[in-house]
Chains A and B, each alone.
Chain A
């Protein structure tokens, strides 16, 4: 059975196409002002990637912040639900899922059946999500892709007082002005987000195996900070940002 999942994320729209639970196509498109149009674009790209036509798709489910605006379906599931479904499918030993996206961070505890036992969200504040690293990379005048590797070259922990992305930006400008090495600042930025994420994880009580998903999982600096703060290694899958859509596509097959 061929199904599709559409993750209407705050920054990027992801589409995953599954055939009997196996991923056969995927696509990611930046969410434009008209999110439905962007989703249609992503859907077409995923179909092309899978080499199939829209008629061959038997079920579509949406997830993500903008899921009620998704095209092609009126079925949607929560982000928490889709994350857990997808992670357990690929990592049966996972008991904790940490998902850090552009505008939201979540920690999810699940059991062996993939059922969500508890979860904690940070959705009100940019400091616990990708928006923070974006703002900081601007303040440091480096490309966002370089922020992670750069921070790994630092061996110094400097404290960052600001808990808010807006204040942190001013703080970073000050630190740069005072000649603090950029890599140390970058490391501090990752430590700051990691500490917010870890407090979410502590709220739900994290248990191994811990799987990290979401776009920010690609940031090696953040991963390093997170593992240090958790005092535990995390598993990072390939294509971490596609797990929401993956879970939604699995839900479509369960219909």
Chain B
């Protein structure tokens, strides 16, 4: 049975970097409620990462993600000078030296991914949405979060992908294959929007149109959160839904600001920021401070 909500898990490492020559090797492990990432940074540069679904047990997920990130690199856990845990399950990363909040890690990670001009980061994660304001160093200056409601989160999108039997990775593209942009679904609540969508399908709406209506509603919900904190350019998006152009383009249209184009996988922002914090802490530790 096809599971439409299931996105591809994967890992990557930079073939041009030799870990044996690295001085400061650190890792960040971001255990979220839906996905987990382990990211390895060597001497300030991103070296490797893994992205997988969080299992029913956080510590096991953390270990699996870490092992997978190192796969094929010849590295072992002993090579890691410092490990930082973050995310919803950060206290459950058994091999972490320290835990740092996901807000701080996201800002730091976005600063690496998008550069020092980024001032507003919208993270659309598995079960929460965060808006983070930061300075040129990636330090948090303000934030707001919605973690009580599935609207605008990955889980909300998974429910829809499943309902419409569309692979989640295709949702964005397909939502633009419509004759004209439909009005958004009237309910923000995913549960109610789902009933509404079923009704629309029965009335003859093609799938893509329903996807468009839903993406539109989700984009609007996120814009409300953005306006709570205020948007300062440059603006960037992280998290899984950053890969959904159906939501991203529509929210860009609504706020009248374009997001910086991603150059790295948007789901690793938290883990990457954690690993970068690890770099600083390891440096301090080694210099005997």
Contact = CB atoms under 8 A, between A and B. Distances in A.
Interface of A: 10, 33, 103, 124-126, 131-132, 135, 163-167, 170, 174, 177-178
24 contacts: A33-B199, A33-B203, A103-B195, A124-B187, A124-B189, A125-B149, A126-B191, A126-B192, A131-B191, A131-B192, A131-B195, A132-B191, A163-B148, A164-B148, A164-B149, A165-B191, A166-B150, A166-B155, A166-B190, A167-B155, A170-B33, A174-B56, A177-B56, A178-B56
Contacts of A126: 189-192
Given A165-B190, A174-B56, 8 more contacts: A33-B202, A103-B195, A131-B191, A131-B192, A163-B149, A166-B150, A167-B33, A178-B56
A7 B28 CA distance: 56
A248 B48 CA distance: 65
Contacts of B156: 166
Interface in B150-179: 150, 155-156, 159
B120 interface: no
Which of B56, B202, B203 is most buried by chain A, counting CB atoms within 10 A of its CB?
B56
B208 interface: no
Given A33-B203, A170-B33, A170-B155, A164 B192 contact: no
A125 B189 contact: yes
B185 to A, nearest CB: 13
Contacts of A167: 33, 127, 150, 155
Interface string B125-152: 0010000000000000000000011100
A128 to B, nearest CB: 10
A55 B150 CA distance: 49
B188 interface: yes
A247 B35 CA distance: 49
Give the top 4 A-B pairs by smallest Cβ distance, nearest first: A126-B191, A166-B150, A177-B56, A33-B202
Nearest to A134: B191
A166 B159 contact: yes
B192 A103 contact: yes
A192 to B, nearest CB: 12
Interface string B47-78: 00000000010000000000000000000000
Nearest to A102: B195
A130 to B, nearest CB: 11
A127 to B, nearest CB: 8
A131 B198 CA distance: 15
B61 to A, nearest CB: 12
Contacts of B56: 174, 177-178
A170 B127 CA distance: 10
Contacts of A166: 150, 155-156, 159, 190-191
A132 B192 CA distance: 11
Interface string B194-224: 0100010011000000000000000000000
B73 to A, nearest CB: 32
A177 B60 CA distance: 15
A179 to B, nearest CB: 11
Contacts of A124: 187-189
Contacts of B190: 126, 164-166
B175 to A, nearest CB: 20
Which of A103, A126, A177: most chain B Cβ within 10 A? A126
Contacts of A10: 195
Contacts of B155: 166-167, 170
